[in-house]
Amino acid sequence: MPNEIGQDMNDNTNEHGSSNSNDQLSHDHSSTQGPRQGPTIEQDEQPTPAAAELAAELQTLDPETAADSLEQSPAAVAAEAVAILEEGEVQPILEAMDADRRAALERSVSPELARQWKINTEFDENTVGRSMEPPIGFFAKTQTVGETVELLRELVKTEPVTYCYVVDNARHLSGVLMMRDLLFSDDKATLDSIMISKVFTLRADMSIPQAIESIADRQFFAYPVCDASNHFVGLIRGQRLLEQQAFNLSAQVGAMVGVEKEERLGTPWWRSLMFRHPWLQLNLLTAFLAAAVVGMFEHTLTKIVLLAAFLPVLAGQSGNTGCQALAVTLRGMTLNELKRGQTRYAVLKEMVVGACNGALVGISAAVGMYIFASIQHNDRPGQLALVTWLAMVVSCVVSGMCGVLVPTTLKRLGADPATASSIFLTTATDVVSMGVFLALATWLLL
Tell me how far the alpha carbon of residue 205 is from its chain's centroid. Answer: 14
Q: How far is CA 82 from CA 55, 59, 209, 244, 445, in A?
A: 7, 10, 26, 18, 69
Measured distance CA(309)–CA(437) in Å, rounded: 12
Measured distance CA(356)–CA(362) in Å, rounded: 10
What confidence score (pLDDT) does residue 355 get? Answer: 95
What confidence score (pLDDT) does residue 121 get? Answer: 84
99-108 and 75-84 helices cross at what angle (nearest 10)?
A: 80
What confidence score (pLDDT) does residue 261 get? Answer: 56
Measured distance CA(133)–CA(129) in Å, rounded: 9
Angle at 78 between CA 74 and CA 80, to 5 degrees: 120
381-412 and 307-334 helices cross at what angle (nearest 10)?
A: 30
87-96 and 63-71 helices cross at what angle (nearest 10)?
A: 80
Q: Are 218 and 4 in contact (CB under 8 A)?
A: yes
CB hemisphere CA count around 211 (13 angstroms) = 32
Which residues are paired to 165 by β-bridges?
138, 176
Cβ count within 10 A of residue 83? 19
Reduced to 3 states, what is the DSSP secondary structure of residue 216? Answer: coil
Backbone phi, psi, residue 170, to 5°? -90, 5
Ordered structural domains, the chain, with CATH: 3-245 (3.10.580.10), 272-445 (1.10.357.20)
Angle at 280 between CA 274 and CA 284, to 5 degrees: 150
Q: Are 29 and 35 in contact (CB under 8 A)?
A: yes
Q: Per residue in 356-379, pLDDT tens?
A: 999 999 999 999 999 999 998 888
Cβ count within 10 A of residue 364? 14
**Considering only CA atoms, which of 134, 131, 122, 129 is closest in space to residue 43?**
134
What confidence score (pLDDT) does residue 57 get? Answer: 86
Q: Would you give the DSSP letter of residue 192?
A: G
What confidence score (pLDDT) does residue 82 get? Answer: 86
Backbone phi, psi, residue 22, to 5°? -65, -45
Tell me which residues of the chain have a pLDDT lower than 70. 1-45, 245-265, 335, 418-420
